[in-house]
Amino acid sequence: MAPLGVAFRTSALTAAMLLTPLALPSSAAAKPTVHTVVMDKMVFAKAPTGVRVGDVIVWVNKDIFQHTATARDRSFDVDLAPGKSARTVVRKTGLVNYYCRYHPGMTGRMVVAAK
Ligand SMILES: [Cu+2]
């Protein structure tokens, strides 16, 4: 009986040791990143990189003109008066092209990876 009890305890301990370190990195990876895109002087500042589904994009209009950040696929569309900002949450993977509805020459693109 004794060897069985020892074997059980050993495997339970091993399982606990394996599970604990694995749980930490996965919960850290799930944390959304906040990316900021500034609109100023009639352009979108450089596109965010390393964007993943669930991340937040903060669109900041520092210009003296009203601008929108509008996805070509309509997955987001924010309309910002000068000095205003808004947040959108990234919902799908792939290439996202965006532009300003008032100034179609203002364009940008970002690549979204899976979570
Ligand atoms: Cu604009």
Per-residue pLDDT tens for 23-50? 555 555 568 999 999 999 999 998 999 9
What does residue 106 show for φ and ψ, rounded to 5 degrees?
Answer: -85, 110
Q: Ligand 1 centre from 14 Cα, in Å?
A: 58
Q: In terms of DSSP bridges, do strands 34-40 and 56-61 run parallel, antiparallel, or are they unpaired?
A: parallel
Q: pTM of the full predicted structure? A: 0.74
Q: What is the pLDDT of residues 13-24, one digit of tens each?
A: 444 455 455 555
Q: What is the pLDDT of residues 78-106, one digit of tens each?
A: 999 999 999 999 999 999 999 999 999 99
At residue 52 the predicted structure's pLDDT band, cuts being 50, 70 and 90, is: very high
Q: Ligand 1 centre from 111 Cα, in Å?
A: 22
What is residue 31's predicted lDDT score, i.e. its pLDDT?
A: 85
Q: Ligand 1 centre from 66 Cα, in Å?
A: 6
Q: Could you tell me the CATH superfamily of domain 34-113?
A: Cupredoxins -  blue copper proteins (2.60.40.420)
What does residue 89 show for φ and ψ, rounded to 5 degrees?
Answer: -105, 130
